């Protein structure tokens, strides 16, 4: 049995993160998206094949450093476009799992397809089937037909793009024709597979995490921090540190006196939290960070090697790597009229359905004293702000 992970595309909806980071390497809670998928299937396959293209060298480097004893083969997607093209030149006689890299599922749901006797695809019931690829099934859950955005009701089981198939799928991929969107679509091959093989629709029972948009990073972190059931403090706390609810603090992280942590929070390794710090509401802080005196952080994701200086306030924000935030930085997260915050994605203004949204600070940014931001603002990588600058 082989696992094929499709991780070749850029995913422009997640800009600016995917300008420098492959989507599969975005960190959620305490590991990257691709690691959740690897670890769920690790003991069920004899080889892992990862289809790469965009920023392929970063995926290879990361997995070599962290999974060097795992048998991983890399396959570079060529010039053909879209889902089926990613599998066009792969050859194997083995049964395969084919999964997309951008979703995180509960292990209980994945076990259903891993242990399935025949072949299958994960599906979810949806309220608006006209927006999805929908499977028509019989009474035994056998898939009869796959229809994209059906105009007439044929069912409400939407394709989640996680498959267990046999090697015939690669023959069907070779036979499909380019679609009206000028793409080679895997669903065309899946439709043919379903007509000639037993392909079951496996309905998931638990929630899954889809990181489609920048604000999904924070909601994904919230999912995992909300499920911290017990505190785990592996290093040093000075006197008068106050911790409410459940937190995880990894090795070599020091919390100094009068730090106050409220609600579930995760702090990774080698960080230093100075006195009089208030950290709350599902914040995740990664490696080698330094949070200085009198800082408040709420519902934020802070990546490696970041310094946040005195009297700064970060709410609902994402801070990338190697950022230096100087004194009195304030991120506004709420519009004066309390309306939903709209975000420009792929040249369209998208309603986030959130009233509170953050700023994004990209790699290698340095803000000077008293910098502040309007809601949903991006500070591009390698930027230096001026004293008292307002990012409008």
Q: Is the pLDDT of residue 143 over 70?
A: yes
| Of 321, 292, 288, residue with least CA distance to 308 | 292
pLDDT at 325: 96
pLDDT band at residue 308 using 50, 70 and 90 as cut-offs: very high
pLDDT at 344: 64
Q: How far out from the chain centre does Cα 118 lie?
A: 30
Share of the chain above pLDDT 70, in %: 94
pLDDT at 214: 81
The CA distance from 364 to 69, in Å, is: 32
Q: In the CATH hierarchy, which fold is given to the domain comprising 216-391?
A: UDP N-Acetylglucosamine Acyltransferase; domain 1 (2.160.10)
Under 8 Å CB-to-CB from 180, ≥6 apart: which residues?
Answer: none
The CA distance from 221 to 232, in Å, is: 17
Q: Is the pLDDT of residue 256 over 90?
A: yes
pLDDT at 188: 85
Strand pairing partners for 348? 345
Instruction: Give the residue, 344 or 112, on which the prediction is more confident.
Output: 112
pLDDT at 202: 95
Q: Is the pLDDT of residue 255 over 70?
A: yes
pLDDT band at residue 381 using 50, 70 and 90 as cut-offs: confident
Q: What is the four-CA torsion angle of 146, 151, 155, 157, rounded to 10 degrees?
A: 60
Tokens of 66: 């962290």
Q: Which has the minimum average pLDDT: 1-5, 56-60, 82-86? A: 82-86
3-state secondary structure at position 106: coil
Instruction: Give the residue, 261 or 181, on which the prediction is more confident.
Output: 261
The CA distance from 93 to 108, in Å, is: 28
pLDDT band at residue 186 using 50, 70 and 90 as cut-offs: confident
| Of 21, 24, 18, residue with least CA distance to 74 | 24
Query: Domain 2-210 carries which CATH code?
Result: 3.90.550.10
CB 207 within 8 A of CB 236: no
Q: Is the pLDDT of residue 296 over 70?
A: yes
Question: Stretch 52-70: mean pLDDT, rounded?
Answer: 91
Within 13 A of 328's CA, how many CA atoms are on the CB side? 10
| Of 106, 68, 75, 115, residue with least CA distance to 91 | 75
Question: Stretch 200-229: mean pLDDT, rounded?
Answer: 89
Q: Is the pLDDT of residue 16 over 80?
A: no
pTM: 0.86
Q: Is the pLDDT of residue 139 over 80?
A: yes
Q: Is the pLDDT of residue 293 over 90?
A: yes
From-to residues of CATH 2.160.10.10 in the chain: 216-391
pLDDT band at residue 30 using 50, 70 and 90 as cut-offs: confident
Name the phi and psi angles at 60, rounded to 5: -60, -45
| Of 301, 265, 307, residue with least CA distance to 282 | 265
CB 221 within 8 A of CB 28: yes
Instruction: Give the residue, 187 or 290, on which the prediction is more confident.
Output: 290
Question: Stretch 110-134: mean pLDDT, rounded?
Answer: 91
Asked if 310 is an active-site residue, the reply is yes
Q: Is the pLDDT of residue 312 over 90?
A: yes
Question: Stretch 108-112: mean pLDDT, rounded?
Answer: 92
Instruction: Give the residue, 103 or 327, on which the prediction is more confident.
Output: 327
List, for residues 233-247, the tens digit of each pLDDT value: 988 889 999 999 999
Q: Report the mean per-residue pLDDT for the chain.
A: 88
Instruction: Give the residue, 391 or 215, on which the prediction is more confident.
Output: 391
List, for residues 315-372, the tens digit of each pLDDT value: 999 998 999 999 999 988 777 776 777 766 666 667 666 767 778 898 999 999 999 9
Residue 380 backbone zone (phi > 0: left; psi -120 to 50: alpha; other: beta):
beta
pLDDT at 81: 61
Strand pairing partners for 361? 319, 379
Burial class (CB in 10 A: 0-12, 13-18, 19+), 348: exposed
CB 134 within 8 A of CB 147: yes
Catalytic residue among 58, 112, 136, 310: 310
pLDDT band at residue 33 using 50, 70 and 90 as cut-offs: very high
| Of 200, 102, 106, 107, residue with least CA distance to 157 | 200
């Amino acid at each position: 049995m082989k696992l094929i992970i499709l991780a070749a595309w850029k995913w422009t909806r997640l800009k600016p993160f995917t300008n420098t980071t492959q989507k599969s390497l975005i960190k959620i809670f305490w590991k990257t998206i691709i690691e959740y998928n690897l670890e769920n299937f690790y003991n069920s396959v004899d080889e892992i094949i990862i289809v790469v293209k965009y920023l392929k060298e970063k995926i290879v480097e990361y997995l070599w450093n962290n999974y060097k004893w795992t048998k991983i083969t890399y396959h570079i997607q060529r010039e053909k476009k879209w889902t089926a093209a990613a599998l066009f030149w792969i050859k194997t006689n083995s049964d395969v799992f084919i999964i997309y890299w951008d979703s995180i599922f509960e292990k209980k749901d994945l076990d259903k397809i891993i242990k399935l006797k025949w072949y299958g695809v994960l599906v979810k019931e949806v309220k608006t089937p006209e927006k999805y690829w929908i499977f028509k099934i019989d009474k035994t859950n056998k898939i009869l037909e796959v229809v994209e955005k059906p105009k007439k009701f044929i069912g409400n089981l939407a394709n989640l793009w996680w498959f267990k198939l046999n090697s015939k799928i690669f023959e069907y991929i070779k036979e499909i024709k380019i679609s009206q969107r000028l793409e080679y679509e895997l669903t065309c091959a899946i439709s043919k597979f379903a007509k000639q093989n037993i392909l079951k629709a496996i309905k998931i029972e638990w929630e899954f995490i889809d990181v489609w948009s920048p604000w999904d990073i924070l909601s994904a972190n919230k999912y995992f921090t909300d499920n911290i059931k017990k505190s785990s403090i592996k290093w040093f706390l000075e006197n008068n540190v106050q911790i409410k609810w459940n937190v995880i603090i990894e090795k070599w992280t020091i919390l100094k006196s009068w730090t106050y942590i409220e609600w579930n929070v995760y702090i990774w390794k080698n960080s230093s939290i100075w006195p009089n710090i208030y950290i709350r509401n599902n914040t995740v802080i990664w490696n080698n960070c330094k949070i200085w005196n009198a800082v408040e952080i709420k519902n934020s994701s802070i990546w490696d090697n970041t310094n946040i200086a005195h009297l700064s306030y970060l709410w609902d924000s994402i801070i990338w790597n190697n950022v230096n935030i100087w004194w009195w930085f304030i991120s506004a997260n709420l519009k004066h009229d309390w309306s939903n915050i709209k975000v420009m994605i792929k040249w369209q203004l998208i309603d986030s359905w959130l009233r509170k949204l953050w700023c994004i600070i990209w790699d290698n940014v340095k803000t000077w004293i008293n910098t502040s931001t309007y809601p949903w603002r991006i500070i591009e990588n390698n930027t230096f702000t001026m004293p008292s600058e307002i990012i409008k």
